[in-house]
């Protein structure tokens, strides 16, 4: 049987571990401050981009396509995690889980086809969309 003090004794390893982690973090910060190099040269404060000297402002406007592709990647990558978890538990879910995953993949394919038809996956110019009967940038469909 569990005594009232049994739950208290089960938490002490977690407390010791937490204190040890914070002590290690503090030790690393103090040692890096004490042993680290200190130099203030002109080139130290300048941005370094793969050996290329920075020119112009760092505040550039990126095309929205970069953000769209990043969002599509995150969304579809997250769905891949769900499909992997389903594949691991396939025997437990049985046929019902199989049909649910078919529905899930169908919704994903429908979303991909929708994005494709909308032109969200195209990196070409607006002229290509106009030749195919699409819309001009900024006007919207219809």
- Is the confidence at residue 139, as pLDDT, over 60? no
The verdict on residue 92 lying in a domain is: yes
Within the chain, how many helices (H) and strands (E) appear?
4, 2
Provide the domain count of the chain. Answer: 2
The verdict on residue 137 lying in a domain is: no
pLDDT score of 8: 67
31 in the same domain as 89 = no
| Higher per-residue confidence, 50 vs 21 | 21
Instruction: Kindly report the pTM of this predicted structure.
Output: 0.44
What domain range is 88 assigned to? 64-131
Write out pLDDT tens, residues 71-127.
Answer: 888 888 888 888 898 899 989 989 999 999 999 999 988 988 888 888 877 776 654
pLDDT score of 142: 46
Token pair listed for 2: 């569990």
Find the Cα–Cα–Cα–Cα dihedral 135, 137, 138, 139, rounded to 10°: -20
Q: How far is the C-alpha of 63 from the C-alpha of 109, rounded, in Å?
A: 26
| Higher per-residue confidence, 61 vs 73 | 73
Average pLDDT of the segment spanning 30-44: 84
Q: Where are the beta strands (DSSP E) in 1-142?
A: 48-49, 52-53
The verdict on residue 136 lying in a domain is: no
74 in the same domain as 124 = yes
- In degrees and rounded to multiples of 5, residue 130 shows phi and psi of -70, -40
């Amino acid at each position: 049987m569990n005594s009232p003090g049994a739950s208290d004794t089960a938490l002490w390893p977690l407390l010791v571990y937490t204190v040890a982690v914070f002590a290690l973090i503090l030790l690393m910060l103090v040692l890096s401050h004490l042993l680290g190099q200190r130099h203030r040269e002109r080139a130290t404060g300048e941005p370094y981009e793969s050996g290329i000297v920075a020119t112009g402002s760092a505040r550039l406007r990126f095309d929205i396509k970069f953000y769209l592709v990043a969002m599509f990647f995150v969304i579809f990558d997250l769905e891949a995690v769900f499909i992997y978890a389903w594949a691991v538990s396939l025997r437990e879910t049985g046929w019902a889980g199989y049909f649910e995953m078919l529905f899930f993949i169908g919704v994903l394919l429908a979303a991909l086809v929708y994005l494709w038809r909308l032109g969200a996956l195209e990196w070409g110019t607006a002229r290509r969309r106009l030749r195919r009967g699409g819309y001009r940038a900024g006007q919207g469909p219809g």
